[in-house]
Amino acid sequence: MTSGITKRWILNILSVIFIIVIFIVFCLSYTISTYYTRSVEQSISIRCNELEKIFTDVTTDTTTDFLSTAQKYIEDFPHKELMELQSLNSVGRTILTSTGFFPDEKEKMPDLEQALAAKEGYAITESELSTGENIMAGTKVIRSQEGTVLGAIRYVVSMEDIHTSNILYTLIFSLMGGTVLIAVYISGRFLLRSIVGPIKEMSQTARIIAEGDFETPDLTKKYDDEIGDLSDSINYMAHELKQTEQLKNDFISRVSHELRTPLTAIKGWSETMLLTGDDIDRQTFQKGMNVILKESGRLTSIVEELLDFSRIQSGRMKLITEKTDLVAELDEAVYMMKERSIKEQKHLMFDTPIEPFPPVLGDKNRLRQVFLNILDNALKYTSEGGNVIVQILNQDNLIVVHISDTGCGIAPEDLPKVKDKFYKANQNVGGSGIGLAVADEIVQMHGGTLEITSGIGVGTTVTIKIPVYNEAEIVEMEEINKGEING
C-alpha cells in the first residue's frame, strides 16, 4: 500500500512532471508538424512567385500562349517526384498534369476561387481528396496583360508522408517522455523508500520510548544525512532518558533513605521517652529532645530543598530582592556552620574583610542558602583535619566568593555534570544530588555565575560571582520595563 508521503509525492510531484512531459511532447510534435507544413507551403509559395516571372518573360496574351508556356513549364519541371503540376483553364478544368492522371472533375478544390480573389494571385489550401489522401495545393492564376484570366497552374503535394513522419515523431517523443516519467518514478520510489522506511522505524522506536522502554531502541544509522542525524538524535534521546530515569530512581531511593534516617531517630527517641514515662531522668530527656529537634530540622531542610527544586523546575521560584551586603550573609552562613566544623574537627576559616563592600541586588535568604549549601558540601566531602577556606573579593564590579576545601575532590569526568539535577559523583556520602542544581539556579537568577574547579585528592573550589548593585542600570532597566508595559 502506498504510504502518506508516497501518495503526496505522486500527487504533488509526479503528476506535475507528467503534465509537463505531456506538454513538452505536445509542443515538440506541434512544432515539428508545423515546421514541415510551413516548409511545403513555403516551397509552393516560392514556385508560385517563380511563375510570375516565367509567364511575363514569354508573351502570354492568349489562351494558346498560356497553354504552350504551361506545357513547356510542366515538361521541364525538375521536381515532379516531389509535387504534381497541373495546368487549369480559365474555368478551372484540368488540361494538363505532370503525372498524366487527371483528377476527378467532381472534386471541387477551393483554391482556384481563393487564388482569383487573392491580391498575390495565388492561394494555398489543404484538403482531403475523395480517396482519403491529404494534400496541399497551391494555385497561381495567370492573366494576360489586360488582366484577362488565361488559366492557372496548380501545385499539388501529398501530405501523407509528412503526416506519417509527424505520427512517428509524436510516438518517439511520447516514448522519450514515458521513459523520463518511468525513470523519475523509479528514482523517486528509491528515494522515498530510503526516507519512509527509516521514518517508520523511527516512529515505532519513538512509540517504544514513549511507553517507557529505553533499553530496546537502537536505531542503525543507514545514511549519513539528515535522516541519519535524526536516528542518531533518537538514540541519544533514548540514552539520555535512560540515564535521567536511572538518576530519578536513584534520587527517589536516596531521598527516601535521607528522610527515613531522621524519622527513625525521631521515632526511636519518642518511643523511648513514652515507654520510660515519668521515670526518665532529666539528662536523657534533654538528649532525646535534642535529637528530635535536630532530626526534625534535618527533615525540614530536606523538604525545603525538595520544594525549592520543584519551584525551580516549574519556574515558580521568586526572589525578594533588596540592596544586600554579601559579606554579612556569608559571615552569617560561616557562623552557622562553625559549630558543626568544630564538632567534625575540620578547620573552617574566613577572614571577614574590614573595608566595606558595595552591596548587591539580591534575596538575602536565598543567597545565604547558597552559601550554606556550598559550605555543607565542602564540610561533607572533607575528612577530619581538612580545611575549608572562605574568601570574598571585590573585583571589577563583581563580588567574588571562593569556598575551597581540601576534600576528596571531583573526578574530571564528573565535574561537568555535578551541577545537573539528581547527579551525584560520590555515592558514599548522603545527599539528594539537587543542592548544586538549586544553588546554581539561584545564583543565575541574581545575574551571577557559579563555577567549580576540582582535582581528585586536591580538593574543590566553588567560585560565585554576583554583580555589584548599580543604581543607574537598575533605574534604566525599570524604565525599559515600564516602557515595554506601556508600549
Applying CB under 6 A, the residues found at the interface with ligand ADP are 377-378, 381, 405, 407-410, 418, 423-426, 431-437, 460
Distance separating alpha carbons of residues 414 and 97, to the nearest angstrom: 108
Q: How far is the CB of 262 from ligand ADP (least distance, A)?
A: 15
The nearer residue to ligand ADP, 384 or 396, going by C-beta atoms, is: 384
- The continuous run of DSSP H or E covering 295 comes out as helix 282-313
Three cell numbers at 321?
Answer: 530582592
Output 193 or 260, the one with its CB closest to ligand ADP.
Answer: 260
Which one-letter DSSP state was computed for residue 468?
A: B
Q: If we measure between CA atoms, which residue out of 322, 311, 270 comes closest to residue 291? A: 270
Q: How far is the CB of 259 from ligand ADP (least distance, A)?
A: 13
Give the shortest CB-405-to-ligand ADP separation in angstroms. Answer: 5
Cβ 430 to ligand ADP shortest distance, Å: 7
Determine the residue with CB nearest ligand ADP.
431
When the beta carbons of 60 and 426 are compared against ligand ADP, the nearer one is: 426
If the CB atoms of residues 87 and 432 are measured against ligand ADP, the closer one turns out to be: 432
State the nearest-atom distance from the C-beta of 459 to ligand ADP, in Å. Answer: 7
Which of 121/431 has CB closer to ligand ADP? Answer: 431
Distance CA(238)–CA(232), nearest Å, equals 10
Q: Which is nearer to ligand ADP, 217 or 433 (CB)?
A: 433
Residues 6+ apart with CB under 8 A from 352: 327, 331
- Residue 87's φ and ψ, nearest 5 degrees, are -110, 130
Smallest separation (angstroms) from ligand ADP to the CB of 341 = 13
CB nearer to ligand ADP: give 195 or 415. Answer: 415
Sign of CA dihedral 113, 114, 118, 124: negative
In one-letter notation, the amino acid at residue 330 is L
Cell numbers describing residue 63? 489562351
Identify any residues that bridge with 350 across adjacent strands, giving them in sequence order: 390
Chain centroid offset of residue 79 CA: 68
φ/ψ (deg, to 5) at 65: -55, -45
Quick one: 75 exposed, middle or buried, by C-beta within 10 A (0-12, 13-18, 19+)?
exposed
Closest separation between CB of residue 339 and ligand ADP, Å? 19
